[in-house]
Structure 1
């Protein structure tokens, strides 16, 4: 049974598979791994498969759930659906036939919008021509730092997805979007580019601070290129409004580039996700792709 979601950029989560394995630094403090352990202890049937303790954990072993495939047909009102908030649909152990069936359900329920997010971008070009790519499917990759952005965005852009997006959450290092990724390279105009960028800081007891400069630079690039920008959260660290030098006080952290000749840097303080809020430079950024415009553009 799918539930309403507290994730700011979707209405509902749908998990036809559960479980995963950590593969990059963005996975270090995986919320889904912790949640799976709790759900296993509560006796939840979908979370009784254990994963490799080196990369996964209790209740977080990869499992396929055939009985969830009909869930979207029961939803009366149109929804934005995050597919696999507790897994990765393109995990190597998810059979291609099952991925195809998920895509077929998406195609058969055009009233909903589906957001698929993967860290396994290298699998995309291997299977893209074996899958349907309905217009209500938004395909995204996680880009927590520049290394992963460089590895994951090019395979994403090579897919036939109508909407392609990058999720820089948790943003643990600066990411600069290449001009050809956002349609600014004059030699590659008209080629596939990103249609949406999500940015968010990490939350939880082991969260790493996100520099406000990283979020601002991505916002400025998106505004310049006309790419919708969604600022999801600060997470468990937020800017205090002060700048510091030397050693930070207990409970604070200095991040970002030096802001003056003396070397003052932005002070980040520990807080709750709720108290930190979602404002960047005094406003929220809740932009989404305009799918009608994209549909017209794709038809020429």
Structure 2
């Protein structure tokens, strides 16, 4: 668990699972895989096994030890809804989030059908907690189905992470979506994000009254291009945001 995160839209990260497998073009230059694989084979290192999917049960209760409220990005180094993660383990993660309710959690996935089905089962007879936000990654127009799956999921706050933005998303229906993050790719093989793609998303948010957060232009380093879009920074948040104490 990292108490301080360089990610602009969160305060901390919590990784009860690490490692993943690539399933879309947005995964091609995954920062988490690139970082993890640097340490493959290093005895005793947390990433001794590189980016192989690894359950870390010793980390499941970490948020309970943090008494000051934080915005926590869940599994920044994995995907909680990967098909190889047992439902029982996902249950444990959600039980911790529900218990440590002084934090706000941001759960982000590309496996949107499993997210939808899990949430429908878990919250079939009760309201989803307001402090657990769920989102899906969308890198271009091919991710439209993930938005539909998210819209069909019981969640207090639904958000889109449109990053790395590697193509236009086209006309996007944001009904039932409470927040949109957009940003370009970073790293040695970063693909260029065209300004019209970013404007398209921003304008859709403005037209449909959805808060818009522009994270970065990207480049070789995350901060290479700054955060301004058309002369200003966009750092809007959902109205239900819980401010860390």
- Per the normalisation by structure 2, the TM-score is 0.92
Distance 1:73 1:33, change over 3 A: same
Given that 2:109 and 2:137 are in contact with CA atoms closer than 8 Å, whether structure 1 keeps it comes out as yes
Q: Which has the larger radius of gyration?
A: 1
- Against the structure 1 CA distance between its residues 19 and 201, is the aligned structure 2 distance closer, same or farther, given a 3 Å change threshold? same
How far apart in 2 are the matches of 1:36 and 1:275? 22
Q: Aligned pairs, how many?
A: 238
Q: Does residue 291 in structure 1 map to residue 226 in structure 2?
A: no
- Report the RMSD for the aligned CA atoms in angstroms: 1.7
Unaligned runs of 5+ in 1: 50-58, 184-192, 237-270, 294-300
CA deviation after TM superposition for structure 1 residue 85, in Å? 0.6
Deviation track 1:161-191 (CA, whole Å, cap 9, x = no partner) reads 110011110000001343xx323xxxxxxxx
Contact 1:2 1:71 in 2 (8 A): no
Q: CA deviation at 1:119?
A: 0.5
CA pair 93-275 structure 1, distance change in 2 beyond 3 A: closer
Tell me if the contact between 2:218 and 2:224 (Cα under 8 Å) persists in the aligned partners: no
In structure 2, runs of 5+ residues without a counterpart are none
Aligned equivalents of 1:161 and 1:155: distance in 2?
12
- Local SS of the residue matching 1:40: coil
Shift of 1:4: 1.4
Offset at residue 123 of structure 1 (A): 1.3
**Partner Cα distance (1:44, 1:162) in 2:** 40
Give secondary structure in 1 for the equivalent of 2:213: strand
| Alpha-carbon displacement from aligned partner over 1:44-100 (angstroms, at most 9, x marks no partner) | 543233xxxxxxxxx111111111011101112111100001000000011111111
Deviation at 1:42, TM superposition (A): 4.7
Q: What is the aligned counterpart of 2:226 among 274, 277, 283?
A: 277
Conserved 8 A contact 2:26-2:164: yes
Q: Do 1:18 and 1:46's aligned partners in 2 also have CA atoms closer than 8 Å? A: no
- Higher RCO, 1 or 2 (CA under 8 Å, sep at least 6)? 2
1:81 alignment counterpart: 72
TM-score, normalised relative to structure 1:
0.75
Distance 1:146 1:290 in 2: 27
User: What secondary structure is seen at the aligned counterpart in 2 of 1:230?
Assistant: strand
Assess, with a 3 A threshold, how the Cα gap between structure 1 residues 44 and 175 changes in structure 2: closer, same or farther. Answer: farther
Q: Contact 2:217–2:223 (CA<8 Å) still a contact in 1?
A: no
